[in-house]
Amino acid sequence: MKRAVEKLRPANGFSRVVYWAMSMLLPVLALVFVKWSILSLAYGVVLLSKWRILAIRPRHWPASIRANAIDIIAGLSFVAFMAQSPSGVWQIFWLVVYEVWLLAIKPRSKIFWISVQAAIGQFVGLVALYLLWGGSSLVVLVLSTAFICYLSARHFFSSFDEPLGPMLAHIWGYIAAAMTWVLGHWLLYYGFLSQPVLILSVLSYGLASLYYLENLDRLSTGRRREIMFVMLVFIAVVVIFSSWGDKTV
C-alpha cells in the first residue's frame, strides 16, 4: 500500500513532462512568495503540491500522509531556510537544493535512497524546528522533535522487510523526546545547529548505518566497532567541550 501511495505521479508521456515542470516550478514559486514576504503562501504551495495524497479513499489517508511526510517536512524546511537566509545568494542556494531534492532524490525508490531521504528529512526538519521555534516552550520542542524523528524512522524502515518497523520508529521517537527534554534545559547552539540536532543526527545515522549494513550482510565486526567508536567519540566531544554555564532556558 505504501509504495502505491508514495508513487502518485505520472509514469510517462506528456503528463510526466507536466509533472516534472510543476516540480521545478514549486521552489521558484516558494522563493517568489518569500521575496514578497508572504510566508503563509510560500508554505502553502508546498502543502498544496501534495494534494494527491488525499485523492484516495479516506481510509487510506493515514498511510498516504505517512508515506509523504518526509517530502512535506523537507519542503517546509527548505522554505524556512529561504526565509531565514541572510542574502539573496543563500536563498538561491536553498532553491537549488530544493530542486535537487525534488528532481534527483525524492523520486528514487531503492533502499539506499529511501535511507538518504529519511536522513535528510530528519536533519533539515530538526534544523528548521530549532531555527524557528528554539525559543518556544520545552513541551513544543519535545513533541515536535519526537514527531519528526518518528516519521523519519518510519520512512527508513519502510524500505526493509521489518515487521517491527512501526515499533522501532516509536522507540526512536521516544528516545528523541527524552533527549530533547534533558538537553532542552540547556539549549546550546553551534552556529545554526542546536545540540539536540547534532546528537540526534549522529545517533540516528550511526544506528541506521549499522541496521542498513546488517541487512545487506556487509556489517563486519571491524566496521561495527568503527561506527560505534565514531558515534561515541563525537557525542563525548560535544558533551564535554560544550559551555554549559549560563545557558539554562
Query: What tens digit of pLDDT does each residue of 78-117 get?
Result: 999 999 999 999 999 999 999 999 999 999 989 999 999 9
What percent of the chain clears pLDDT 90, i.e. is strictly above it? 67
Mean pLDDT for 125-138 is 94
Per residue in 171-191, pLDDT tens? Answer: 999 999 999 999 988 888 888
Say how far apart CA 235 and CA 176 lie, in whole Å.
15
- So what's the pLDDT on residue 61? 85
What confidence score (pLDDT) does residue 14 get? 64
Contact criterion met (CB below 8 Å) for 83 and 15? no
Distance spanning both ends of the chain, measured CA to CA = 44
Spans of all domains in the chain: 1-107, 109-249
- Distances 39 to 34, 36, 79, 137, 219 between C-alpha atoms, Å: 6, 8, 9, 23, 45
Q: Strand, coil or helix: what is 200?
A: helix
What interhelical angle do 61-84 and 111-133 show, nearest 10?
Answer: 50
Question: 129 and 201 in contact (C-beta within 8 Å)?
Answer: no
Cα separation, 214 vs 197, whole angstroms: 25
pTM summary value: 0.89
Q: What is the pLDDT of residue 157?
A: 96
Compute the C-alpha angle 37/187/243, nearest 5°: 125
Given a cut of 80, whether residue 119 has pLDDT beyond it is: yes
Handedness of CA 108, 63, 1, 25 (dihedral sign): negative
